[in-house]
Amino acid sequence: MCSNGIMPRVRRTLHGRFALVGACVGALVVVAGCSSEPGPPPAATVQNFAVCVGPTEARPAGQQVALEFRQGGQLVATGSIPVGAAFMAQVPVGAAIDVYADGEWAGGGGAAPGALVEGDQGYVYVSAPGCPSAPRTS
């Protein structure tokens, strides 16, 4: 368009200025990120939830039982254990957990037929008679 060579010089000058501004902004972002104070730790989104289905006439000790952990009707964890043993899984923090053993409600969320224990090791444990006092965490 211009035959005198002014436009190519203007383009090179503008590109150089944009590159310089971009480099300065990038350096400021890096420096700001390095010197900022650490924020609070993120809130937990999962918790350890353990359950033990106690032996009954219908379910003798040692019989294998399929477990489902549900939160608000939604399946959040499954497992299979012998009756009288504890099973632990990570579940979302929030609403109460309902436990089903072989498709039947077995307790959960404070309404279990046995004990609900807030463990020192960072877990919630729902148990019944004939179960260990705490789940194995190792």
Cβ pair 86, 119 in contact under 8 A: no
Length of the chain: 138
Domain topology for 46-127: Immunoglobulin-like (2.60.40)
pLDDT of residue 126: 85
Distance CA 127, CA 108 (A): 9
pLDDT of residue 107: 81
- Digits of tens for pLDDT over the chain (138 positions)? 555 555 444 445 445 554 444 544 454 444 444 555 676 666 678 888 899 999 999 999 999 999 999 998 899 999 999 999 999 999 888 778 899 999 998 887 644 344 445 555 678 888 889 999 888 766
Instruction: Give 100's contacts (C-beta < 8 A, 6+ positions apart).
Output: 67, 68, 70, 106
Can you give the pTM of this predicted structure?
Answer: 0.61
pLDDT of residue 119: 54
Q: Which of 60, 63, 61, 73 is nearest to 105 (CA)?
A: 73
